Chain A
Amino acid sequence: MKIARSKFSPGNISIVYLYVVGFAAFWIWIPELWINWTTHKSVLNIDMSTKAIVAVGLVAPLLTNTFDLSIAGVISLSSVMVSWLQTEYHWNMWPAMALTLVVALACGAANALLVVGIRINSFIATLASGAVITAIAEYTSGGVQVQVPNTFKNVAKSQMFWGIQAKVGYLVVIALVLWYVLEHTPAGRYMHATGDGPDAARLAGVQTKRYVVLSLLICSVVAGFAGIVSAAQTAGNATAGGPYLLPAFAACFLGSTQFLGRFNVGGTVASIFVLASLVAGLQRSIENQGIRRILDSLFFGLALIAAVGLSKLLERYRERTAFRMRALEINRISEPSGHGH
């Protein structure tokens, strides 16, 4: 069974092994805190759910080889907007949420215009558009937190079962939908083809532009939804989005080294769960407040470097081995022939 072996080989599911090792270590280290549902519940509810929602949305553009750095701005704007509509204009939460999602979609459309219409490199285009969107969020909020009604807080915090909050439910639904779209529909296949060989895909009849646009729209709407959830968690905040950017990219890239060897929803969710769990474990085992506070950034930053770095190193190693063999060959055939200097 060749397929089965490669599926479960350490290279493909290293993230699972990492979790097992970490789990065992914390079991020994902090048994009372670790073998405790409260800890894992809070990982799911607080540490990972919103981050993971943003990250699975980001899988779509990354699959078409398009970067979307504007997600931080979109999260901030929708967090501010959904709160502002309710407190300043006393909108009911449903229309407020609907309009917010429409605005998030518009942000995605703007990105699509820059990337597909004008053909600006997606990295540059979304870096810039993200800054503009953040500026709008800051202006709207007036630089302060926008409080939200208590009923709205239920959107994020209402409990489902075993103390798990609704946010986790949203994550599951969004992840399932995106998994289905990206892995099992023609659209997903076309996005994948667009990302890995845009010219070849176009010559095979794939409407590559359409799928880049679609992926940017998906990413923005999902980020907009994450912004709503984050507002319901605390309050509308124009700086809400910033902390989500790095974890989302880290999880996507780490996820791309897992399961399928390319950007995928399952790997992304698994990566974020494992990283968040490890951070939670460490935070509970370390006394020092200063270190506790930086663990999150430190871990996700290192994870991004490790994920991208390791795959690059592996690639270089393969190339270099090939090069060395070639060099050896050439040296042998053009060795000095004894006449000397």
Chain B
Amino acid sequence: MTDQPTRQQPLIDIESLSKSFPGQVALNNVSMQILPGQIHALVGQNGSGKSTLIKILAGYHQPDPGSIVRLHGETVDIATLDPHERAHLHVMHQDLGLVRSLSIMENLALGRGYHTGALGRINWAKEAARVSALLAEFDVRADPRTLVQALAPADQAIIALVRALQDWGDGEWGVLVLDEPTASLPKPEVDRLFAAVRRIAQRGGGVIFVSHRLDEVFDLADHVTVLRDGVVVGSQPLRELDQTRLIELIVGRAIDDLYTAPPEPMSEVAVQTENLAGENLIDLDLTVRRGEVVGVAGLVGSGRDEVAALLFGAKRPVRGEVRVGGRVVRAPREAIIAGMALVPADRKGLGCIPEHTVRENVVLPRLGPFGRFWLRRDAERSEAVRWVVEVDIRPADPERRIITLSGGNQQKAVLARWLRTSPSVLVLDEPTQGVDVGAKASIYELLAKSAEGGTAIIMCSSDAEELAHVCDRVLVLRGGKVATELSGGSLTSDRIVQEILS
């Protein structure tokens, strides 16, 4: 898809939109135009003002005076759109806003009303015909009477799309705002949803697409607007950009690459497993040397999701054993004493104690330096401050409860906790899940630095891109066994995905 000629009247024209909250300017003079048929990506880190902009478009926040929003060329008050205007600027949230226990047809009729016959009787046949036509157009193979909850997630999302655009009259296209629509969808489903989105654009509708996943942005959108600190720092057709440049725009500093390549491994073995088996995992033999970064890939149920817990002794192996520096590890405490560290996938339940402060969380595994009988608070505090600075946690306040930080900063704090113990083996499970791109880059940097210092890193992840760039080699698990090991030239994200699925 290409950009439409700029002469065309924009469907929505946002001009110098600002929004300030007490003590903070969330959006400053933001301008943005959506043309008919355009898929317009909106990207930015957490805290860039992206969510504020979406909330304003949804009519939830009142923008500051002086902000102008035009729909079809007419200036409107965005916070109090009338229903007709609202239909032409529809924000679709992750929860879709569908009534899951009603049928497709009933969901589409909600708000719109039914075709009725004499005495107000609903003309089901006519209604069904209308809905069937829409479903066919969007390639949803389901009867209009199917309950929404019986549909695949992608189909539910498509129904939500259809519901929004059914109110657009002929030649009167509106704008759909899709807020992270793919967050919970597997890849094949994402493709189906994207096909539907493209269909809307072909019909002449405009789409604002909000996503953290940059590969999707490149896949789907034709224009991108980048927000940083409440300001538009870039707005241009995507074909003029590559991923590196886009990341630079988002993060605001030049990152040679989002990923930091692994250092040269050393020869000394750090961790070794023998016939390690769990619920799904069968006989994993793994040897990782100091300074080596090894990735573990695989689908859910392939055994990948239990590798970390088994290595760390958090889950009892059905058989086999883990050795770190010659010692057998059977429990988390033994693992820590042997020099191991675990960053679990479930951050709030396992990775940290949510209601405790950053300081308490960071120092927990090793209180020894602060005194055996009387914890010296000042020593503890200065140590915490040191690590907050080291891993760049924001806000840089060690006395904040960790739950109040963003996902990326929580993860940095968890990482700080373990880097502080200078582990010889660092096991990570989904280390960058729910982490924005800026924090991601610094996490990769920290890991590479740690590997350089001689830490063996084992990274279990469902993000093939990440594994391909950060690891020396990647084990791909299938059906509980190591199906293949990729390294060197064969270590690409495409190969990983291919091996996972084959």
Q: Which residues of A, 185-201, contact B by the 8 Å Cβ criterion?
A: 185-186, 189, 192-193, 196-197, 199-201
Which chain A residue shows the least CB distance to B166?
A337
Determine the chain A residues whose CB is within 8 A of the CB of B55 once the complex forms: 329
User: Is A339 at the interface (CB under 8 A from chain B)?
Assistant: yes
B320 contacts partner chain A, Cβ-Cβ < 8 Å: no
Bound-state Cα–Cα, A337 to B367, Å? 61
User: Would you list which residues of chain A between 178 and 215 have a CB under 8 Å from chain B?
Assistant: 180, 184-186, 189, 192-193, 196-197, 199-207
- B residues near A28, Cβ cutoff 8 Å: none
- Which residues of chain A are within 8 angstroms of B84 by Cβ–Cβ distance? 337-338
Q: Do B58 and A329 touch across chains, with their CB atoms under 8 A apart? A: yes
* Residue among B55, B93, B337, B370 facing the most chain A CB atoms (10 A cut-off): B93
B307 to chain A, nearest CB (A): 15
A341 located at the interface, meaning its Cβ lies under 8 Å from any Cβ of chain B in the complex: yes
Give CA–CA (A207, B331) in the complex, Å: 10
Residue B59 CB within 8 A of the other chain: yes
Interface residues of B in 446-484 (CB under 8 A from A): none
The digit string for B91-114, where 1 denotes a CB below 8 A from any CB of A, is 101010100000000000011111
* Residues on B with beta carbons closer than 8 Å to the beta carbon of A330: 93, 95, 97
The yes or no answer to B90 lying at the interface (CB within 8 A) is: yes
A204 touches B417 (CB 8 A): yes
Is A334 close to B, CB under 8 A?
A: yes
The distance in angstroms between the C-alpha atoms of A199 and B354, with both chains bound, is 12
- Chain A residues numbered 292-341 whose CB sits less than 8 Å from any CB in chain B: 325, 328-330, 332-341
Enumerate chain B residues within 8 angstroms of A329, measured Cβ to Cβ. Answer: 55, 58, 60, 93
- Cβ–Cβ contact A185 & B353, under 8 A: no
Q: Once the chains bind, are B83 and A337 in contact (CB under 8 Å)?
A: yes
Q: Is the interface of A mostly helix, strand, loop or mixed?
A: helix
Whether B90 lies near A201 (C-beta < 8 A) is no
- Select which of B95, B333, B337, B356 is within 8 A of A193 by beta carbon: B356
> Cβ of A201 and Cβ of B353 under 8 Å apart?
yes
Partner of A203, one of B58, B82, B344: B344
> Contact partner of A335 among B111, B314, B342, B364, CB < 8 A?
B111
For the complex, give the distance between the alpha carbons of A200 and B354 in Å. 9
Number of residues from A at the complex interface, CB < 8 A: 32
Task: Using known A-B contacts A329-B55, A332-B59, A333-B59, determine if residue A204 contacts B367 with beta carbons closer than 8 Å.
Answer: no
Identify which of B10-18, B208-216, B372-380 touches chain A.
B372-380
Q: Contact between A189 and B360 (Cβ–Cβ < 8 Å)? A: yes
Contacts of A202 in B (CB 8 A): 314, 332
A333 touches B58 (CB 8 A): yes
Cα distance, A327 to B373, chains bound together (Å) = 51
Asked if B352 is at the interface of the complex by the 8 Å CB criterion, the answer is: yes
Q: Do B86 and A337 touch across chains, with their CB atoms under 8 A apart?
A: yes
A339 touches B333 (CB 8 A): no
Cβ contact within 8 Å between B375 and A333: no
**A336 and B111 contact, CB distance less than 8 A:** yes
Given contacts A333-B90, A335-B111, contact A203 B360 (CB under 8 A): no
Report how many A-B pairs have Cβ atoms within 8 Å. Answer: 111
**Chain A residue at minimal CB-CB distance from B122:** A341
Which size class do B's interface residues fall under? 35 or more
- Chain A residues with CB below 8 A from B60, complex form: 325, 328-329, 332
The CA-CA distance from A336 to B163 in the complex, in Å, is 12
A189 to chain B, nearest CB (A): 6
Contact of B364 among A189, A328, A336 (CB under 8 A): A189
Known: A333-B90, A335-B86, A338-B84. A207 touches B333 (CB 8 A): yes
A186–B372 contact, CB under 8 A? yes
- Which residues of A lie under 8 Å from residue B58 when comparing CB positions? 329, 332-333
**Known: A330-B97, A332-B59. Contact between A337 and B314, CB under 8 A?**
no
Q: Are A339 and B113 in contact (CB under 8 A)?
A: yes
A44 to chain B, nearest CB (A): 29
Q: Which residues of chain B in 397-439 are interfacial with respect to chain A, using CB atoms and an 8 Å cutoff?
A: 417
What separation, in Å, do the CA atoms of A298 and B74 have in the docked complex?
67
Known A203-B312, A328-B60; contact A184-B375, beta-carbon cutoff 8 A: yes
Q: Determine if B349 and A337 form an interchain contact, defined as CB atoms under 8 angstroms apart.
A: no
**Minimum distance in angstroms from B345 CB to a CB of chain A:** 12
A205 touches which of B91, B332, B351 (Cβ 8 Å): B332
Smallest CB gap from B111: residue in A: A336
The CA-CA distance from A328 to B60 in the complex, in Å, is 8
Q: Are A197 and B352 in contact (CB under 8 A)?
A: yes
Chain B 310-340 interface mask (CB, 8 Å, partner A; 1/0): 0010100000000000000000110011000
- Chain B residues within 8 Å of A196, by CB: 353-356
CB distance from A16 to the nearest CB of B (A): 23
Q: Looking at the assembled complex, report how far the CB atom of A3 sits from the nearest CB atom of chain B, in whole angstroms.
A: 8
The interface residues of chain A lying within 8 Å CB-to-CB of B59 are 332-333
- Is B234 interfacial (CB 8 A cutoff)? no
| Chain A residue at minimal CB-CB distance from B375 | A184
What's the Cα separation between A335 and B95 when bound, in Å? 16
User: Which residues of chain A are near B355, meaning CB under 8 Å?
Assistant: 196-197
Q: Are A334 and B111 in contact (CB under 8 A)?
A: yes
Kindly state whether residue B87 has any CB partner on chain A within 8 Å: yes
Report if B241 contacts A (CB, 8 A): no
* Contact between B83 and A338, CB atoms less than 8 A apart: yes
From A189, A192, A193, name the one whose CB has the most chain B CB atoms within 10 angstroms.
A189
Residues 295-314 (chain B) with a chain A CB within 8 angstroms: 312, 314
Q: Would A341 and B113 count as touching, CB distance under 8 A?
A: yes
**Identity of the chain A residue whose Cβ is nearest the Cβ of B373 in the assembled complex:** A185
Residues in A whose Cβ lies below 8 Å from that of B374: 180, 184-185
Complex formed: what's the CA distance from A330 to B365 in Å?
A: 44
Contacting pair A197 B354 (CB below 8 A): yes
* Residue ID in chain B nearest A205 by CB atoms: B336
Task: State whether B342 touches A203 (Cβ < 8 A).
Answer: yes
Q: Is B189 an interface residue (CB 8 A)?
A: no
By beta carbon, the residue of chain B nearest A199 is: B350
Q: A196-B356, A330-B95, A341-B116 are in contact. List 18 more A-B contacts (CB 8 A).
A: A189-B364, A189-B375, A196-B355, A197-B353, A199-B350, A200-B352, A200-B353, A202-B332, A203-B332, A203-B344, A204-B365, A332-B58, A332-B60, A333-B86, A335-B83, A335-B86, A340-B113, A341-B114
Chain A residues close to B by CB (< 8 Å): 180, 184-186, 189, 192-193, 196-197, 199-207, 325, 328-330, 332-341
3 cross-chain pairs, A with B, having the tightest CB-CB distances, nearest first: A197-B353, A205-B336, A186-B367
Q: Sample 8 A-B pairs with CB under 8 A, ordered by A number.
A: A189-B367, A197-B355, A200-B351, A203-B342, A206-B333, A333-B86, A334-B97, A338-B87
